[in-house]
Amino acid sequence: GIEFIDSYVFNQAEYIRFNSTVGRFVGYTEHGVKNAEAWNSDAGILGQEQAELERVCKPNADIDYSTILDKT
Protein backbone atom coordinates (compact mmCIF):
# COMPACT_ATOMS: atom_id res chain seq x y z
CA GLY A 1 0.00 0.00 0.00
CA ILE A 2 0.86 3.64 -0.28
CA GLU A 3 1.26 5.93 2.72
CA PHE A 4 0.99 9.71 2.45
CA ILE A 5 2.78 11.77 5.11
CA ASP A 6 2.41 15.55 5.25
CA SER A 7 4.87 17.11 7.70
CA TYR A 8 4.76 20.71 8.86
CA VAL A 9 8.14 22.13 9.86
CA PHE A 10 9.07 25.41 11.53
CA ASN A 11 12.71 26.37 12.18
CA GLN A 12 13.79 22.90 11.02
CA ALA A 13 11.64 21.19 13.66
CA GLU A 14 8.62 19.11 12.72
CA TYR A 15 5.66 20.23 14.82
CA ILE A 16 2.73 18.39 13.25
CA ARG A 17 2.25 15.53 10.80
CA PHE A 18 -0.63 13.99 8.89
CA ASN A 19 -0.28 10.27 8.19
CA SER A 20 -2.78 8.69 5.78
CA THR A 21 -2.45 5.28 7.42
CA VAL A 22 -3.45 6.71 10.79
CA GLY A 23 -5.91 9.09 9.11
CA ARG A 24 -5.27 11.99 11.47
CA PHE A 25 -2.79 14.63 12.56
CA VAL A 26 -0.26 14.09 15.33
CA GLY A 27 1.39 17.03 17.09
CA TYR A 28 4.99 16.97 18.31
CA THR A 29 5.15 20.31 20.11
CA GLU A 30 2.68 22.17 22.31
CA HIS A 31 1.59 24.26 19.31
CA GLY A 32 1.43 21.14 17.11
CA VAL A 33 -0.72 19.24 19.61
CA LYS A 34 -3.20 22.15 19.75
CA ASN A 35 -3.34 22.32 15.95
CA ALA A 36 -3.73 18.54 15.70
CA GLU A 37 -6.73 18.64 18.03
CA ALA A 38 -8.36 21.38 15.98
CA TRP A 39 -7.54 19.90 12.57
CA ASN A 40 -8.61 16.38 13.57
CA SER A 41 -12.03 17.72 14.51
CA ASP A 42 -12.43 19.36 11.07
CA ALA A 43 -13.73 16.83 8.53
CA GLY A 44 -12.92 19.21 5.67
CA ILE A 45 -9.23 19.41 6.54
CA LEU A 46 -8.98 15.65 7.08
CA GLY A 47 -10.74 15.07 3.76
CA GLN A 48 -8.31 17.34 1.92
CA GLU A 49 -5.33 15.49 3.34
CA GLN A 50 -6.80 12.06 2.49
CA ALA A 51 -7.59 13.30 -1.02
CA GLU A 52 -3.90 14.01 -1.62
CA LEU A 53 -3.24 10.26 -1.45
CA GLU A 54 -5.65 9.74 -4.36
CA ARG A 55 -4.72 12.92 -6.24
CA VAL A 56 -0.92 12.83 -6.04
CA CYS A 57 0.41 9.56 -4.69
CA LYS A 58 -1.55 6.86 -6.46
CA PRO A 59 -1.35 8.33 -10.00
CA ASN A 60 2.42 8.80 -9.66
CA ALA A 61 3.21 5.54 -7.88
CA ASP A 62 3.63 3.44 -11.03
CA ILE A 63 5.84 6.09 -12.63
CA ASP A 64 8.02 6.41 -9.54
CA TYR A 65 8.21 2.66 -9.05
CA SER A 66 9.31 2.00 -12.64
CA THR A 67 11.91 4.78 -12.41
CA ILE A 68 13.35 3.19 -9.26
CA LEU A 69 13.44 -0.26 -10.89
CA ASP A 70 15.18 1.16 -13.98
CA LYS A 71 18.02 2.48 -11.78
CA THR A 72 18.64 -0.76 -9.86
The CATH number of the domain where 62 resides is what?
3.10.320.10
Domain span at 22: 5-69
Q: How many domains, the chain?
A: 1
- Helices 30-40 & 43-52, crossing angle to 10 degrees? 100
pTM above 0.95, yes or no: no
Phi, psi at 18, each rounded to 5°: -100, 135
Per-residue pLDDT band for 63 (boundaries 50, 70, 90) equals confident
Q: How would DSSP label each residue in 7-30?
A: EEEETTEEEEEEETTTTEEEESSH
**pLDDT tens figures, 3-14:** 899 999 999 999
Q: Return d(Cα 15, Cα 52) in angstroms, integer.
A: 20
